Structure 1
Amino acid sequence: MSTKDSDSVGIDEKDNVLIEQRSSPGFIEAPDGELLNADIRPSAERKLVRLLDMRLLPTIIVIFLLNYIDRVAVTAAKLQGLTQDLHLTGLQYNTVIAVLYATYVPAQIPSNMILNRISRPSYYIPACVIVWGVTSACTGVTKNYAGIIACRVFIGLPEAAFYPGAMYLLSRWYTRTELAFRGAIIYGGLLISNAFGSLIAAGILGGMQGKLGIAAWRWVFYIEGAVTVCIGFASIILLPDYPHNTRWLTPAQRRLAQVRLAEDAGEADEDVKNESATVGLMMALKDPKVSIMAVMCCSQLLGLGFVNFFPTIAGTMGFSTTVTLLLCAPPWILATIVCAANAYSADRTGERFFHMCWPWWGVIIGYIIGVTTMSLGARYVALFLMACGYAGFALTAVWVSNAIPRPPAKRSAAIGIVNGFGNFGNLIASYTWQSQWSPEYHQSMYIGLAALVFASVLAFVVRCMLIKENQKLEKAELDFLKGAGRQRIEDAAKLEGLTFEQALERKRGFRYLY
């Protein structure tokens, strides 16, 4: 929140009078305010949210699925000869995994700043999807270490636009009580991609070896890259822009979408003239919550860094390539279900800290199992616990949006900073799962365990900061009620036939979710 936000604490008189008028029976506003009438607004709002759920969510989910399939295709290809054909050493393979983050991490902040300033995200995001699809397909023609390194470097740039950009786009459409579940549904695309990515890779690797004289691992990149390009073109039509300019909504629906967000945070979800992308970046950098959440995200992704080595870890159980890839699917299917259920509960309760941390604690238990036994059944159970840990990460960008709600320029920069810096954890993790530590990977698990404990501590610090912020907001509102503000609420209660307590609850301003 900016200083301006803290001073107003969501009680700008003019805005609240307007909101109270809109809540009054028989209110009519023309020409684009027709859906704000008290008698038709609830159904109109449900229709709007349903329309967004049917167009925005499926499109983002499919893109996210392809995003991670393209990104982790290297791990599946390794099982079928990629390292041998390209003559990669163990260190070189780890570098192939890590180098993507050299561009993916720093590009997220400027990408989100660009997204906040342009008026057509329905062009920007699909363009990035098409570029990374082409780059992914080019990976299949590489002949040596230098070639695959070049592809991995360049694929990180367009991919950087997607996840933080998608979460920012969601935050421009959904309220605080709607965002966690939708964000988790989208992140479920990532989790399910780990399942279907393995299944798709198993099918390609098992059936395409030698077709047209091409190795099966190369077909993985050709096929998945081509599908990504096609989806990129389709998403130009399907994705929305912003509430004020989306072409496939009526003017009344656009107005309703803007009012919903304004009421949710006590102010319009728009930048004022002096709130440029650079100003938003500086505001985010000065907010201590952003830096703490960035380190927290980095630590948790280090703790969850097994994701890029999941087929390799599963391979330590001693099965064939096809069976190993098939065994990778069930843990991620369960993780997707857990992710959706956890986020649904987070939306219903408004709680964030425990919903984000308890899946990490499950990973910690999985690591403890992994370092104490080599039993086949126990280690497979540990893989389920580890995969479900991503149900916690799914709420990270959502919590950032809740903790840094306004202005949009600051929010977009904060999401980019937290997710961008956080992915340094993935970069570091690329070197913590070293082949010489297999098949036990005890050192890797100790590192992951310590990282998740540290992330839990930082999450608790953020929770305490938000509780303190809410106490300040509460005090400011109580001070407001000692003067003329109380009389205005009493008058509004009489006009609307409410008790003073009911009117006060409706008047209650913005609160952070923790």
Structure 2
Amino acid sequence: MYNPLHSERSVPKICILLFLHNFSNSLINRMAQSAVAFNPAYGETAPLLALESDYEPLFEDIEERAKVERSLLKKLDRRMYLLGVIYILNYIDRQNIAVARLRGFEEDLKLEGSQYASCLAIVYVGYLLTQVPSNMYLEHIGRPSIYLSSCMILWGFISMLTGAARGFYDALIARFCLGFVEAAFFPGALLLISKWYKRDEIGQRTAYLANGLLIANAAGSLLASGILGIMDNAHGIAAWRWLFFVEGALTISVAICAMYILPDFPKTSSGWLSSAEHSLAIRRIQEEYTVDDSPEHPFNGLLLALSDRKVWLLAIILGLHTFSSSFHIYFPTLVQTIGYDPIATLLISTPPWLTAIVAVIVISRHSDEKSERCWHITCSMGIALIGYLVAISTMNPVVRYISFFLMTQIHAGYVCFMAWASTSVSDPPSKRASALALINTGGILASIFVPYVWPSSWGPDYSKSFGICIFANILTITACCVFRGHLASLNALTTPRVLVGKQYQYQL
């Protein structure tokens, strides 16, 4: 029987049909992978979803994958712990000026009026100028082990130069340069964490990073008390100058080690992972965010971040939270209002931060387990609010000291918030890099004005300062609830599909 498809003239037709069939299948698959729900009210897209068929199995069975994944996370965590150490030094080098104030910093430099507050604030101007372009550059080169470590060496050197300041302008310039270089670290660290960990893993790892700030407040006070006590007038140099020299040198030493320990991004890391672990590291994030991870121009990501309403809301929340938690910048001064000498003040400043470390670990882990952020944030904010109300109502040394323990619990909410931010703005990678820096810029803008919230003339009760903290605290809680409602509305737009996992809607 004659079959027209077997004729020679039918060959071109068959080729055309096959081409159209393959092209249509490819187009349908691409549309399925890129499927989003659009919300005209917000001008945003709902969370991206992944189909089971989108990913070929990387391992023969689930148990084999789980075994490789455990090995990957174990190796990765060992290296990522260094981020917490770096954050300790980042904070110490930025805030050791508050400790130096207890031992003659203002008097030796002949600071007057608001000049000390200006020295505190100027560092955040440097932060403001650098954070966004720094994260864009880091996303472009993909080598945090080299970039972040190099920045760390520079800020350690600048910190040492601060100890050689002879007047207000010397200190002001050094502090500006310090912020200009230090700015690369925190948003860069958040970007690095988001490159390796899944959404239900980020909270706990962000907690390890943020605990560096709390340990810096606790251990930093102990370290400073030792330096101030031992090195006072050693070789004719004031103790506060030795504080900058020693802590800056320590930073440089750790930075050199970080060059060999910190991981790069999954696609640029090599040598410390097996081939299976390396492939799984890349696949995990592809499955998690369901986006094309191919290189793109960093400015495209910046434009996407600027046009995303979630980024602006998160930046506002962080700015309000920064005002609410501003007490930690002046913590040694606040503790001194109880009536102890400088060394004793530094020693009793430690316990409140130790309890905060425990709270951060417990609350962030529970937040990860429940995949919930908002209520964990507001709970810690509420505890801090009680602390502010107690501090504003009495100058009793015992009661006021107890209030400091309550205040420090606010940092557990900060950790949960940063994990929330990291998972709420995630794709594409260049957008994530710019978004994290822009969100952190909200906190930096607030930090520029925070030093002026705690003038010496408002002491020793600082009731006006605590009043500002209370107002900012209430606004932060309100803004978090508004943001939660916004994400819930976006989740409601998600088209029902077969999910690879349960993490593909926004965490609330």
TM-score, scaled relative to structure 1: 0.88
Corresponding letter in the other structure for 2:131: Q
Tell me how far apart the structure 1 counterparts of residues 50 and 500 of structure 2 sit (CA, whole Å): 14
Matched, 1:6 2:36: yes
1:63 counterpart residue number: 86
Is 1:134–2:128 an aligned residue pair?
no
Report the residue type matching 1:464 in the other structure: G
CA distance in 2, matches of 1:170, 1:5: 26
User: What is the match of residue 472 of structure 2?
Assistant: 451
Give 1:301's aligned residue: 322
Residue 319 of structure 1 corresponds to which residue in structure 2?
Answer: 340
Amino acid paired to 1:511? Q
Does structure 1 retain, via aligned residues, the 8 Å contact 2:315–2:440? Answer: yes
Q: Residue 483 of structure 1 corresponds to which residue in structure 2?
A: none
Please tell me whether the aligned partners of residues 298 and 422 of structure 1 are also in contact (alpha carbons under 8 angstroms): yes
- Following superposition, the deviation at residue 90 of structure 1 comes to 3.9
SS of equivalent to 2:103? coil
Q: Say which one has the larger Rg.
A: 2
Tell me by how many angstroms 1:324 deviates.
0.4
Contact between 1:280 and 1:407, CA under 8 Å: does it hold in 2? yes
Distance 1:376 1:509, change over 3 A: closer
- The aligned amino acid for 2:392 is V
CA displacement, residues 81-105 of structure 1 (integer Å, 9 cap, x when unaligned)? 1111111124111111111011112
1:379 aligns with 2:409: no
Determine the structure 1 residue equivalent to 2:219: 196
- Conservation of the 8 A alpha-carbon contact between 2:88 and 2:216: yes
Is this contact kept in 2: 1:105–1:421, CA < 8 A?
no
Alignment equivalent of 1:52, drawn from 72, 76, 90: 76
**Structure 1 counterpart of 2:68, one-letter code:** A
1:76 equivalent to 2:112? Answer no
Cα distance in 1 between the residues matched to 2:359 and 2:60: 36
Matched letter for residue 439 of structure 2: V
Unmatched tracts of structure 1, length 5 or more: 23-32, 481-503
Asked whether 1:513 is paired with 2:507, we answer: yes
- Please name the residue that 2:432 is paired with: 411
Task: Report the Cα offset of residue 265 of structure 1.
Answer: 2.6
Native 8 Å contact 2:200 2:503 kept in 1: no
Q: What amino acid sits opposite 2:110 in the alignment? A: H
What is the CA–CA distance in structure 2 between the aligned matches of 1:391 and 1:12, rounded to whole Å?
A: 32
What is the CA–CA distance in structure 1 between the aligned matches of 2:421 and 2:130, rounded to whole Å? 19
Counting only pairs closer than 5 Å after superposition, residues 267-306 of structure 1 correspond to structure 2 as 267-268=291-292, 270=293, 272-273=294-295, 275-306=296-327
1:230-278 CA-partner distances (Å, limit 9, x unpaired): 111110100111112212222221110011112223345x2x45x4211
Name 1:460's counterpart in structure 2.
481
Match of 1:493?
none
Aligned residue identity for 1:510: Y
2:444 counterpart of 1:397: no
Q: Which residue of 1 aligns with 2:53?
A: 17
Q: Which AA in structure 2 matches 1:6?
A: V
Q: CA deviation at 1:291?
A: 0.6
Q: Distance in 2 between matches of 1:375 and 1:113?
A: 49
2:354 is the alignment partner of 1:360 = no
- Corresponding residue of 2:247: 224
Alpha-carbon distance in structure 2 between the residues aligned to 1:178 and 1:326: 34
Contact 2:84 2:210 in 1 (8 A): yes
**Who is 1:491 aligned against?**
none
36 and 295 in structure 1: CA distance in 2 versus 1, 3 angstrom threshold: farther
Q: Distance in 2 between matches of 1:126 and 1:50?
A: 22
- Mapped to 1, the partners of 2:111 and 2:367 lie a distance apart of 44
Separation of aligned partners in 2, 1:90 and 1:49: 51
Residue 507 to residue 54, structure 1, CA distance change in 2 (3 Å)? closer
Paired residues in the alignment total: 467
Shift of 1:428: 1.3
Opposite residue 239 of structure 1, the aligned amino acid is L
Partner Cα distance (1:434, 1:423) in 2: 19
- Superposed CA deviations along residues 55-105 of structure 1, whole A, max 9, x for unmatched, are 12x210110111111111100011011111111124111111111011112
Tell me the SS of whatever aligns to 2:114: helix
RMSD: 1.7
Per the alignment, do residues 181 and 87 of structure 1 end up closer, same or farther by CA in structure 2, a change over 3 Å counting?
same
Q: Residue 245 and residue 5 in structure 1: after superposition, are their counterparts in 2 closer, same or farther (change >3 A)?
A: farther
In structure 2, what residue type is equivalent to 1:79? L
2:172 alignment partner, one of 143, 149, 154 = 149
Q: Relative to structure 1, is the Cα distance of residues 256 and 141 closer, same or farther in structure 2, using a 3 angstrom cutoff?
A: same
Render the CA deviation track for 1:375-412: whole Å, top value 9, x for unaligned: 11111111111111111112222111111121111111
User: Displacement of 1:18 after TM fit?
Assistant: 4.6
> 2:476 is aligned with what amino acid?
A
The counterpart of 1:124, out of the listed 144, 147, 151, is 147
Which of 435, 448, 452 in structure 2 is aligned with 1:431?
452
Give the corresponding residue for 1:250. Answer: 274
Could you tell me how far 1:507 is from its partner in structure 2?
6.8
Partner of 2:8: none
1:287 and 1:68 map into 2 onto residues whose CA distance is 30
Using the TM superposition, give the Cα deviation of residue 322 of structure 1 relative to its aligned residue in structure 2, in angstroms: 0.7
Q: Residue type of the partner of 2:154?
A: V
Letter in 2 for 1:45: E
CA distance in structure 1 between the aligned counterparts of 2:332 and 2:377, rounded to whole angstroms: 25
Listed one character per residue, the Cα deviations across residues 332-360 of structure 1 (whole Å, up to 9, x for unaligned) are 11111111111000100000101122212
Q: CA–CA distance in 2 between the matches of 1:267 and 1:424?
A: 31
Q: For residues 506 and 156 of structure 1, what CA distance do their matches in structure 2 show? A: 42
> What is the match of residue 501 of structure 1?
none
Of 129, 132, 153, which residue of structure 2 is paired with 1:106? Answer: 129
Q: Output the TM-score relative to the length of structure 2.
A: 0.89
Displacement of 1:9 in angstroms is 5.8
Q: Which runs of 4+ in 1 moved over 4 A?
A: 7-13, 504-509
> Which AA in structure 2 matches 1:196?
A
Q: In structure 2, what is the Cα distance between the partners aligned to 1:244 and 1:169?
A: 12
Separation in structure 1 between the aligned mates of residue 306 and residue 123 of structure 2, nearest angstrom? 25
Q: In the alignment, which of 350, 357, 360 is matched to residue 339 of structure 1?
A: 360
Q: Does 1:238 align with 2:261?
A: yes
Q: Does the alignment pair 1:115 with 2:138?
A: yes
**Counterpart amino acid of 1:73?**
N
The alpha-carbon distance between structure 1 residues 440 and 256, as it changes in their structure 2 partners (threshold 3 A), is same
Seen in structure 2, the aligned counterparts of structure 1 residues 375 and 281 have a Cα distance that, compared at 3 Å, is: same
State the SS of the aligned residue for 1:249. Answer: coil
CA contact (8 A) 1:183 1:394 kept: yes
Tell me the equivalent position of 1:158. Answer: 181
Q: Retained in 1: the 8 A contact 2:47–2:505?
A: no
The 1-side partners of 2:369 and 2:501 are apart by: 21
Q: Is the 8 A contact 1:180 1:344 kept in 2?
A: yes
Q: Match of 2:243, as an amino acid?
A: V
Q: Is the contact between residue 139 and residue 430 of structure 2 (CA under 8 Å) also seen in structure 1? A: yes
2:288 to 264, 270, 273: 264
Aligned residue number for residue 488 of structure 1: none
Q: CA deviation at 1:121?
A: 1.4
